[in-house]
Amino acid sequence: MASLPDWMRPPRAEGWFAEDLDRLSEAPRHTELIDGALVFMMSPQRSWHGRLVTALTVALMEQAPGGIEVEREMTVRLDERNRPEPDLLVTTAPYDPDRTCYAPQDVLLVVEVLSPESAHRDRTVKLRKYAEAGIRHYWYIEDEDGTPVAHVYELDKPTGSYAPAGIYRGALKRSVPFDISLDLNSLLRRGSG
């Protein structure tokens, strides 16, 4: 039986904490902390996922007003035991080249593009955790026969949970967190000639 590499062993009996991620240089790219457990993206990412995340990042950057930044694949420190890494986020925090994570109060929107291995976490666990942290807007985008479909949620402040704000096919138009107009079908064609 093979033993675990030293970096995979929690640094204390209580397990992993959010600040530990910054010291795990040997960990695979896209390592997240969920409920004190390290979560790795182990399977290869599909081209559909990568192209959609890139095109969506560019489209949101083009539409974002001054003082709003769009980042991809950066963690959000929800609390001391949770530091998930969404596919992209929209933030009011100014650009800092040394930043390794964001605080939830600076995040306006989190977007997850579903992969087979992350679908359950993105639809349930992260949906709940982002809401509990007070992030006002959450989208997850899934592959419906090769076409992106966006499931959009808004935080209901009295309950502290997300309320569905719509399922978008073809076009997504929203006035929050800023004016956004996306042709979802063209996102996958962008840059393909």
pLDDT in tens, 55-106: 999 999 999 999 999 999 999 999 999 999 999 999 999 999 999 999 999 9
- Is residue 36 in some structural domain? no
- Is residue 103 in some structural domain? yes
- Is residue 110 in some structural domain? yes
- Is residue 14 in some structural domain? no
**What is the per-residue pLDDT for 136?**
98
**What is the per-residue pLDDT for 42?**
57
Of 93, 135, 79, 83, nearest to 110 (Cα)? 135
pTM for the model = 0.88
Residue 111 parent element (H or E): strand 107-113
Tokens of 112: 């997850």
d(Cα 100, Cα 139) in Å, to the nearest integer?
A: 22
pLDDT exceeds 90 at position 22:
no
Residue 156 structural domain: 45-187
Question: Is the Cβ–Cβ distance between 83 and 103 less than 8 Å?
Answer: no
d(Cα 122, Cα 129) in Å, to the nearest integer?
A: 10
- Is residue 193 in some structural domain? no
**What is the per-residue pLDDT for 10?**
75
How confident is the prediction for the chain on average, in pLDDT? Answer: 91
- Is residue 98 in some structural domain? yes
- Is residue 32 in some structural domain? no
Find the angle CA(128)-CA(131)-CA(134) to the nearest 5 degrees.
Answer: 155
> How many domains, in total, are found in the chain?
1
- CATH code, domain with 162: 3.90.1570.10
